[in-house]
Amino acid sequence: MPTIAFDATDRKDLLDRFLRYVRIDTQSDENSTSSPSTEKQKDLSRVLVGELKQLGCVDATVNEWGYVFATVPSNLPAGHPKAGKVPVIGLLAHMDTYHGTLGAGVKPQLIQGYKGGDITLPGDERQVIRFSDNPNLAKCIGHTIVTSDGTTLLGADDKAGIAEIMTAVAWLGKHPEFVHGPVSVGFTTDEEVGRGTEHFDVAAFGAKYGYTLDGSDIAEIEDETFCADSALVVVEGHDVHPGYAKGKLVNAVRVAAAIVERVPREFLPETTELRQSYLHPYDLRGDVTRVEIKLLVRAFTEEELRERENALRAVVREVQGAFPGARIAVEVKESYRNMAYKIAGDPKVLEYAFEAVRRMGMEPVRRAIRGGTDGSRLSFMGLLTPNIWAGGQSFHSVQEWVSLEWMAKASEVTLHLLQVWVERSAA
């Protein structure tokens, strides 16, 4: 069994893949009703299918929704005591980037042998990744740091995860002496708009257990996500000529502003952390006649989620009283639920990930995600899917950055994980 450790060539290949992927614009669109929400996501799909075939995944394919699937067959010899006993393990990441920050024309910047201190981004010198605001930079001194030029996001969320999985697949091909069970690879579209598993066929994917590689710090294994709903508040006013509006005009813009203003400050994402829930008004559009307000509702339990939704309804009732001529409606839709509810029923999927981290000489850090991954929905669809770190930092921002060394460790832990599944599976 070879030592699971990347050499300089492996790390260069990982970096080259990542830089290639982030230059492909895959921004999703939450206002689109098509699937995928943007056709340009398939540009990366086609690239990945071609590369997977080159790596020996002859069944690599992209479907009509832009999902990429491939398999790496088990190489356990027929006489091996674990042959046929190791479950199919799924490795997943998403191709789209955040819809709220420019994702086209990414110009990645490399800082090799990072020496510490602030990082000024060359495309917009007002954008500075401050050492004091990014404590993980202190852990990455000496590393190769990748950023954008400050005019776009970088796309490490989640092209770091894609590059890490692809590099793990390449490593398996170069090391046939490393025995492993069957692996299913899946890259999804539209995760950032909450539709990453909308057309995902768990049975066809074939995995018994799965792992996403997405975001997070080195050694982090995440088995909890928010419970998530989306809320839409629709305000209907009454428009008349402002010169003759006294006693007649009902301005939906002012009503909407009053609703946003009355959301309790202690419920906002900018005032909450750790396991605290939030209400996030993130999109407001319309005119005097009609305004739509979109909000994210997030909490780690369904009970607290209901509390936040009731708080929103209370705000709406208060504003309705102040603007009796307006019509205000609230619609809440379920997005996803905390994967911990499902993973708790079969915790070995988590425990084996912890063991893989320990084999790399690190202590695993169990964390709850203040967000969600495709694993949230997949866990409720029957595929338990905790999250392994991919290394990205300050995602959704033009100040996004990632350490190549953290990315390499994510690939390596994935390989250790496959080893653990072979060893722990019943003979």
Catalytic positions are: 96, 191
Rounded CA-CA distance 282/299 in Å is 17
Query: CB count, 10 Å around CB of 294?
Result: 16
Q: Report the sign of the C-alpha dihedral through residues 126, 129, 131, 132, in that order.
A: positive
Rounded CA-CA distance 16/413 in Å is 20
Rounded CA-CA distance 31/19 in Å is 28
Are 239 and 249 spatial neighbours (Cβ–Cβ below 8 Å)? yes
Q: Report helix, strand or coil for 105.
A: coil
Rounded CA-CA distance 93/409 in Å is 16
Helix axes 8-22, 156-174, angle to 10 degrees: 140
Looking at residue 384, the DSSP 8-state letter turns out to be B
Residue position matching structure tokens 């050694």: 219
Rounded CA-CA distance 72/88 in Å is 10
State how far Cα 348 lies from the chain centre.
23
Residue type, 246: K
Residues with Cβ within 8 Å of residue 355, at least 6 apart in sequence: 420
- Tokens in use for 7? 């050499």
Rounded CA-CA distance 222/389 in Å is 8
Are 308 and 279 spatial neighbours (Cβ–Cβ below 8 Å)? yes
Q: What phi and psi values does residue 105 have, to the nearest 5 degrees?
A: 70, 35
Rounded CA-CA distance 306/313 in Å is 10
The pairing of beta strand 290-299 with beta strand 278-286? antiparallel
Residue 113, judged by CB atoms within 10 A of its CB (0-12, 13-18, 19+), counts as: exposed
Measured CA to CA in angstroms, residue 53 lies from 41, 58, 63, 144, 162 at distances of: 19, 5, 15, 29, 15
Measured CA to CA in angstroms, residue 325 lies from 176, 238, 288, 313, 328 at distances of: 72, 8, 13, 18, 10
